[in-house]
Structures are given as structure tokens and as C-alpha cells.
Amino acid sequence: MTKLLTQSSLLATMVAALAASAAAQQAKPIEQWANLGHLENGSEIRVVLAGGKTLRGFLQSVSPDSLAINATTSQEALSRQDIKLVSLKHPGHRGRNTLIGLAIGAAGGLGTGAAIDHGDHGWFPNFGKAVFTPIGALIGAVVGVAIPTGGWRVVYRAP
């Protein structure tokens, strides 16, 4: 029974570490206009203007005093003074996180099943492994899908 608790706590620790890592990689606001120069033309961005209006589109060009964006309905040239926030869209890793969660969950389930099967159980000696491995894999995959990835990252915030 102590092996079961140890393996369950190990699984919980690994899942928590994965979630904390995803959270730590999120927003790092930058207040330097020069950072926009590092973005590639065609990058999907979201611009929040000082008046509260939000534009979403693809970066066309950046100069020291303006930003040009191909918005969904038009092409916009925005003054640096009017821009409050610029965010860059990052691709998600939901599939990768699902596979990692599936593997961790399956390993935890297999370990739990092995701990349960440690004694002699007569007719079906591998019952714990056969039941807990897929249950652990399913739980791990669900946790992997639930971890937020991708999304918008702030690359410029007006001081």
C-alpha cells in the first residue's frame, strides 16, 4: 500500500511540475519598442490601442515610430504613441502535452498496478496492471490536454 501512495504522489508531483513549467513560460511583459523589430514579417499579432480598440492581423513592418499591420479588414499604419500593447501569437503544443501526459499517466498506472499485483491473486495475476495502466494513461492524457499552451505572449507594453 505504501508503494501505491508513493507512486501516486510521484505522479502528482510530475503533473504539478509540468503545469508549473507551462505557467512559468507565459507572459513576460517587455517595455522596449526595439523588441518589435525582432518579430518576423507575417507574424500574427494583436494590437491594443490607447483608446481600447483591439486590432488583430499580421505584422507588415516596424519603424522607430510606427507599426504597420495587415488587419482582417484593412491595412493599418499605427503610430507608436497610440499603441498600448502588442501581443504575438504562439503555436500551441497540445498534442505534445497530451502524449507526455499519456506516457506519465500510463507509467504511474503501471506502477500502481504492479504494487497492487504484488501478492498472489489467483485467476488474474495481472489485474492491477491491466486496469490501472489504461486508467492512468487516460487521466494523464486529459491533464495533458488541459494544460494551456500557445496563445498570446506580450512583446511590447507601453510604459
- Tell me the chain's radius of gyration from C-alpha atoms: 24
Q: Where are the domains of the chain?
A: 2-25+93-149, 33-91
Pairing of β 83-90 and β 75-79: unpaired
CATH number assigned to the domain with residue range 33-91, chosen from the 4 options 3.40.50.300, 3.20.20.70, 2.30.30.100, 3.30.450.40: 2.30.30.100
DSSP 11-62: HHHHHHHHHHHHHHTS------GGGGGGSPTT-EEEEEETTS-EEEEEEEEE
pTM of this structure: 0.55
Cα–Cα distance between 46 and 151 in angstroms, integer? 11
The pLDDT tens digits of the residues spanning 9-44 come to 655 665 565 555 555 444 344 568 888 888 888 889
The pLDDT tens digits of the residues spanning 93-109 come to 889 999 999 999 999 99
What angle is formed at CA 155 by the lines to CA 52 and CA 92, rounded to 5 degrees?
100
- Cβ-based neighbour number of residue 85 at 10 Å: 17
The pLDDT tens digits of the residues spanning 140-154 come to 999 999 988 878 888
